[in-house]
Amino acid sequence: MYKLMTIAALLFSTDSHSMMRALNTAATGMATQETHVSTISNNVANLNTTAYKKQRAEMEDLLYETVTEAGARSAENSQYNVGLQIGSGSRVSAVRKEFEQGAPQLTNNPFDLMINGDGFFGVISPNGEIMYTRDGSLNVDSTGNLVTKQGYRIFPGVTFAPGTKSVNITEDGTIEVYLEGQIQPNVLGQIPVFTFINQVGLKSYGGNLLRQTNSSGQPIQMVAGQSNAGRIQQGALESSNVSIMNEMTNLIRAQRAYEMNSKVMGVADQMLQTVNNIR
């Protein structure tokens, strides 16, 4: 009788450990899918945000408990051909921006600029830091400075004189202004394009702005249209690169995965109750 009770206690302990592990594993799966849905939600919310770059949640599996090592000895003259490892779930390892170019949206506004190809506009923040954006919906403030919607000046700083009749910005970023009574344009300056070795390493700041990080590397200031830098198109804006059909498909998959993990958690809980009810 004592032996039977000891065996039952061991079985109970093992099954309880397995069920608790199943609950924890399913919980990690639910947390992973919750982050996936949050990422999709942010993409959909920014469907019409100028030059928004969609994000993609990337998952990885967690540590494994190795019960039997593949290649370990199973008998005197044989070995296990396949090992026994039990996983502990999943987690989100990264949320990556995808920098595929969005479709052009023609506006015919001379202060709307779009980069055709790689690169970013430089933006001078109030504290003097250079930040970066693909959003070229610019304006002129009360003092004639070319600024973003937030009022930040575009690098290297462009100021239009009073009496400016029209503005022409070429593909290489050269700013030509026509003043009242002049036939030939004056060259006011040039808007550069910045590129990065690892642009996915840039940090989102909000307001369509990005910051450099150690991962992104240092910005490389280039003339638009040269080497791998994109050309500047005046009178157009870049649309978001979010595909609503892809996002809906991903949302359905994430929802089904979340439901399945919650189902696994429920089944594991029922099995644990069954074990606990054994007398």
pLDDT, residue 279, reads 60
Cβ pair 117, 226 in contact under 8 A: no
pLDDT, residue 18, reads 59
99 by Cβ neighbours in 10 Å (0-12 / 13-18 / 19+) ranks as middle
Cβ pair 175, 188 in contact under 8 A: yes
How many other CB atoms are there within 10 angstroms of residue 191's CB atom? Answer: 24
Cβ pair 107, 84 in contact under 8 A: no
pLDDT, residue 69, reads 85
What the block records as the tokens of 67 is 């019960």
Q: What is the pLDDT along the chain (279 residues), one digit of tens a residue?
A: 444 333 334 344 445 555 578 888 888 999 999 999 999 999 999 999 999 999 999 999 888 888 888 888 888 788 888 888 888 889 999 999 999 999 999 999 999 999 999 999 999 999 999 999 999 999 998 898 999 999 999 999 888 888 888 899 999 999 999 887 777 888 889 999 999 999 999 999 989 999 999 999 999 999 998 888 999 999 999 999 999 999 999 999 999 999 999 898 888 878 777 777 776
pLDDT, residue 83, reads 84
What is the value of pTM for the model shown? 0.83
Phi, psi of 207 (to 5 degrees): 70, 25
pLDDT, residue 194, reads 96
pLDDT, residue 123, reads 95
- What pairing do the DSSP bridges indicate for beta strands 139-140 and 146-147? antiparallel
pLDDT, residue 35, reads 93
pLDDT, residue 78, reads 86
pLDDT, residue 203, reads 94
Report how far apart the first and last C-alpha atoms of the chain are (Å, whole number). 14
pLDDT, residue 19, reads 58
Helices (H) and strands (E) in the chain, counts: 2, 22
Distance, CA of 73 to CA of 78 (rounded, Å): 6
